[in-house]
Amino acid sequence: MTIRASTPGRRGLDRIMAEKQGLPMTSAPASLTLPRPDDWHLHLRDGAAMAAVVWETARVFGRAIVMPNLKPPVTTVAAAQAYRDRILAALPRGTRFAPLMTLYLTDNTSPPEIAAAKVSGFVHAVKYYPAGATTNSDAGVTALDRVYPALAEMERQGMVLSLHGEVTDPAVDMFDRERVFVDTLLERILRDFPGLRVVLEHITTRESASFVRESSGRIAATITPQHLLYSRNALFAGGLRPHLYCLPILKRESHREALVAAATSGNPRFFLGTDSAPHARAAKETDCGCAGCYSAPAALEMYAEAFEDADALPRLEGFASWFGADFYGLPRNHDTVTLVREAWTLPAACPFGDGAIVPLRAGETLRWRLAEAAPSGIKATPTA
């Protein structure tokens, strides 16, 4: 990774800008070049919604684990292949972005379907949603026992289990659901399937971070930008903030600090997964709003801020570009992306099918900007 220092002329300007924005001034490099990162947890939706968002990811990330919680969910290899084809068709020709597909685990997922997923070469994980835990999870797993045959086959095939780690028992407090999942279901899964490789997705608690740190190498975790940048206070800052509502829900500040420590620790079992989860503005700003933060338009820039605030920019490379690929047994990317220190303001909303979508940090000024706007691997060519 190359971190270029500010030129003497710019340093003064940077300092003035930093002071204006209340930013830290200790280390203020002017640019940051890192191997092309991958997003190990992404929601792309389908149809017009997908067409509206996929480029935001493809222009910066080389690959992304694409979550299967469509309506209906992607439960078969055939459905994953068709979905993959639709994603590729929605991108400009020549884009090298690679969607890494997942299957949605249900009570009825059969071992032969798992075996076929492994053989396909394009399905890289199977996603476990406890039924009712989050957006489009109704078809998810109703009881752990029911998926034992599928988990046994995954263990045999070396297929990664991707976990939405929250219990759904309404008696369990909203803020405790991840901790209880880790203490109960996750412990059981790891005990009964000692060879299964597991990603605990979008971790939000100190306990999850320690659990992963203290476990063996077959368990890893993704961490989102919102969980690095915000604690639950932000949900109520000056009024209710629906665009910060995601699942698992933001936790208290001490948990955020533990997540920042984990992400910036250099431990290869913590890596980037945005969980960018687009919902139309109308579905968020309503009486019963959907869960999900749409971070794709500036995800890498937000991670850079979080790492810089922790004085850990040199650790961004492993977290964003290496560790996920290593865990999934895929090659690291060879090309690079560059972030430049250049203040810019995210739009208040972006087009989204027939409506609009409000990105995470809409209308706010970010301090890093992606230097190259072309989709992964291709140069932007002016259109006639």
Which positions are annotated as active-site residues? 275
The DSSP element (H or E) to which 320 belongs, if any, is: none
CB 203 within 8 A of CB 165: yes
**What distance in Å separates the CA atoms of residue 44 and residue 49, rounded to the nearest whole number?**
8
In the region spanning residues 160 to 189, those forming contacts with ligand NCD, defined by CB under 6 A, are 164
Kindly tell me which of 202 and 367 has the beta carbon lying closer to Zn ion: 202
Q: Work out whether 134 is an interface residue with ligand NCD (CB under 6 A).
A: yes
Q: Work out whether 343 is an interface residue with ligand NCD (CB under 6 A).
A: no
Q: How far is the CB of 133 from Zn ion (least distance, A)?
A: 10
Phi, psi of 197, rounded to the nearest 5 degrees: -95, 135
Kindly tell me which of 152 and 180 has the beta carbon lying closer to ligand NCD: 180
In the region spanning residues 84 to 113, those forming contacts with ligand NCD, defined by CB under 6 A, are none
Please report, as ranges, the residues that interact with Zn ion according to CB under 5 A: 275
Q: Work out whether 59 is an interface residue with ligand NCD (CB under 6 A).
A: no
Altogether, the residues listed in the chain come to a count of 384
| From the list ligand NCD, Zn ion, none, partner contacted by residue 135 (C-beta under 5 to 8 A by kind) | ligand NCD
In the region spanning residues 230 to 259, those forming contacts with ligand NCD, defined by CB under 6 A, are 246-247
The set of residues, in sequence order, having a beta carbon less than 8 Å from that of 99 and lying 6+ positions away, is: 44, 63, 64, 66, 84, 87, 88
Q: How far is the CB of 164 from ligand NCD (least distance, A)?
A: 5
User: Looking at this protein, which amino acid is placed at residue 226?
Assistant: Q
In the region spanning residues 258 to 287, those forming contacts with ligand NCD, defined by CB under 6 A, are 275, 277
Q: Work out whether 135 is an interface residue with ligand NCD (CB under 6 A).
A: yes
In the region spanning residues 19 to 48, those forming contacts with ligand NCD, defined by CB under 6 A, are 43
The set of residues, in sequence order, having a beta carbon less than 8 Å from that of 45 and lying 6+ positions away, is: 53, 70, 278
Closest CA to 308 of 343, 259, 264, 361: 264
Q: Work out whether 131 is an interface residue with ligand NCD (CB under 6 A).
A: no
Closest CA to 313 of 332, 339, 335: 339
The answer for 275, left when phi > 0, alpha when psi is -120 to 50, beta otherwise, is left
Closest CA to 166 of 211, 206, 117, 202: 202
Q: How far is the CB of 43 from Zn ion (least distance, A)?
A: 6
| Contacting positions for ligand NCD (CB under 6 A) | 43, 69, 134-135, 164, 246-247, 275, 277, 291-292
